[in-house]
């Protein structure tokens, strides 16, 4: 297989971190940021929030992607502490509150991932928008890291839409008020779920991580790899 026969991966995200991580796979890559609605009902479980938001982000890019051979990838990350969902902080005050709550203890990070296969030729274009409502297909577990489900299939049996999540646990060491203030002044926390970046200077506050580093950073490459294999796309077929 050469580069031309591999469908483009379209990353439905404005996140530079997700782009950086996805580019590690070495597959043909494009970015189309998604404008999807990211609200959710309060009763949703974390697994559902991130899976559905990842799918919504990917769906929103379908009309922009056009008709061609491609896979749209959407992702979403939340931090959960004592059952409370921490998204991105609205301002420095919220950032300080989040970091004060996270320091000296463990929390969970959930990252959702969704893939939608697009086909150029109508005959194979099984994906119709109404199919996206289909639920309840095969579910594949990835040990205790997470799982993904195949949500619809093409007539040829090719999985068209997949969505899933990973779950990791991150433990912060205790932080002083000065450390929290100093960290906020670096600007790193402001565009990140939970107000920290495990991949940046925030790493100095991390005591340990149980789970997947790249999931905490925003894109589970291991989960994505498993999904892409279902489309017969592998980074190891290149060259
Ligand atoms: C916990 C944590 C989150 N994050 C980031 C990943 C995500 O970019 C962000 C969570 O917000 P998201 O809403 O998941 O993503 P986004 O708005 O940045 O990008 P898009 O919706 O366009 O895909 O927080 C880190 O970079 N490091 C971390 O350690």
Residue 211 Cβ contacting ligand 1 at under 6 Å: no
Task: Going residue by residue through the chain, which has 239 residues, state the pLDDT in tens, using 9 for 90 and above.
Answer: 444 578 999 999 999 999 999 999 999 999 999 999 999 999 999 999 999 999 999 999 988 998 888 999 999 999 999 999 999 999 999 999 999 999 999 999 999 999 998 877 653 444 443 444 444 478 999 999 999 998 876 555 566 789 999 999 999 999 999 999 999 999 999 999 999 999 999 999 999 999 999 999 999 999 999 999 988 899 997 54
Query: Ligand 1 mean position to 150 CA, how many Å?
Result: 24
End-to-end CA distance of the chain: 8
Which ligand 1 atom is the nearest neighbour of the CA of 192?
A: 24
Residue 74 Cβ contacting ligand 1 at under 6 Å: no
**Residue 226: Cβ within 10 Å count:** 18
Beta strands 106-118 and 159-172: pairing type? Answer: antiparallel
DSSP per residue over 121-185, as a string? SGGG----GGGGG-----EEEETTTEEEEEEEE-TTS-EEEEEEEEEEEEEEPP--HHHHHHHHH
Residue 194 Cβ contacting ligand 1 at under 6 Å: yes
pLDDT of residue 238: 52
Per-residue pLDDT reduced to its tens digit, 76-105: 999 999 999 999 999 999 999 999 999 999
**Given the residues 76, 82, 144, 191, the one annotated as active site:** 76
Per-residue pLDDT reduced to its tens digit, 164-184: 999 999 999 999 999 999 999
pLDDT of residue 66: 86
CATH code of domain 3-237: 3.90.950.10
Residue 197 Cβ contacting ligand 1 at under 6 Å: yes
């Amino acid at each position: 297989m050469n580069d031309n026969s591999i469908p483009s991966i379209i990353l439905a995200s404005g996140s530079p971190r997700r782009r950086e991580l996805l580019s590690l796979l070495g597959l043909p890559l494009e970015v189309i940021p998604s404008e999807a609605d990211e609200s959710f009902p309060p009763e949703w479980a974390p697994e559902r929030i991130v899976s559905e938001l990842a799918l919504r982000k990917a769906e929103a890019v379908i009309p922009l992607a056009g008709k061609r051979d491609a896979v749209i990838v959407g992702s979403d990350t939340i931090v959960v502490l004592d059952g409370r969902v921490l998204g991105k902080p609205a301002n420095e005050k919220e950032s300080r509150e989040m970091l004060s709550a996270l320091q000296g203890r463990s929390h969970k990070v959930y990252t959702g991932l969704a893939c939608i296969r697009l086909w150029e030729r109508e005959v194979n274009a099984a994906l119709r928008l109404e199919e996206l409502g289909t639920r309840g297909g095969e579910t594949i577990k990835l040990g205790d890291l997470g799982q993904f489900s195949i949500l619809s299939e093409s007539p040829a049996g090719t999985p068209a839409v997949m969505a899933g999540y990973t779950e990791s646990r991150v433990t912060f060491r205790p932080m002083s008020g000065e450390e929290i203030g100093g960290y906020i002044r670096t600007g790193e926390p402001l565009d990140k779920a939970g107000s920290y970046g495990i991949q940046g200077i925030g790493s100095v506050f991390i005591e340990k991580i149980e789970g997947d580093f790249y999931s905490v950073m925003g894109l589970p490459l291991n989960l994505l790899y498993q999904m892409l294999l279902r489309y017969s796309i592998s980074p190891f077929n290149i060259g």
